């Protein structure tokens, strides 16, 4: 849907360029483009919310394929960080080897290598963020529970 409204935003306003809406003195193309852009943003936000759920599932699958256990600890976040460093080193080391290939293959392979490494790094960074968020969430819940217990004890004394 967002793609349809984006296409509408690109093509329809140019066909209404000379029309002014009476009473509000606004160009009809500008108004149509603005409305289509708002609808595009709405559908894009909804699609991104759905993509977040899918990215959680795909990240779990990818991390399991790497052989990382399903633990949610700082050790796993550190392991992900080490994987990121290794990916950067391997990608950097591959660049001189790729440069020895034919020119038409070299540029495509260089670009593909960089984008694949970037995608894997982004997935691992996202996984680190999820781990750290869950750790902070657990600590915050623990602190909140302790504060609630203290408030209950103080209330019972009075």
Q: pLDDT tens across 71-123, in order?
A: 567 777 877 888 888 889 888 888 888 888 788 888 888 899 999 999 989 98
Residue at token pair 């217990």: 149
The CA distances from residue 56 to 8, 50, 52, 62, 66, in Å, are: 32, 10, 6, 10, 15
Report residue 66's pLDDT band, with 50, 70 and 90 as the boundaries: low
More confident residue, 52 or 146: 146
Q: What is the pTM of this model?
A: 0.53
pLDDT, average across residues 3-13: 71
The CA distances from residue 45 to 27, 33, 56, 57, in Å, are: 27, 18, 17, 19
H/E element, 26: strand 26-27
- Helices assigned H by DSSP within 16-102: 28-65, 74-99
The CA distances from residue 156 to 89, 147, 151, in Å, are: 60, 14, 9
CA–CA dist 15, 142 (Å, integer) = 60
């Amino acid at each position: 849907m967002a793609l349809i409204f984006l296409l509408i935003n690109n093509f329809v306003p140019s066909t209404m360029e000379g029309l002014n809406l009476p009473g509000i003195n606004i160009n009809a193309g500008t108004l149509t483009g603005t409305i289509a852009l708002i609808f595009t943003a709405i559908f894009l936000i909804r699609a991104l919310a759905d993509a977040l759920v899918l990215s959680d599932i795909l990240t779990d699958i990818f991390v399991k394929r790497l052989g990382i256990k399903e633990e949610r600890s700082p050790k796993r976040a550190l392991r992900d960080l080490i994987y990121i460093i290794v990916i950067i080193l391997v990608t950097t080391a591959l660049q001189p080897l790729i440069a020895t290939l034919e020119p038409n293959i070299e540029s495509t392979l260089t670009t593909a290598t960089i984008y694949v490494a970037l995608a894997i790094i982004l997935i691992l960074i996202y996984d680190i963020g999820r781990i750290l968020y869950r750790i902070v969430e657990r600590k915050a819940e623990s602190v909140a529970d302790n504060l609630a217990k203290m408030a209950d004890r103080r209330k019972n004394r009075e």
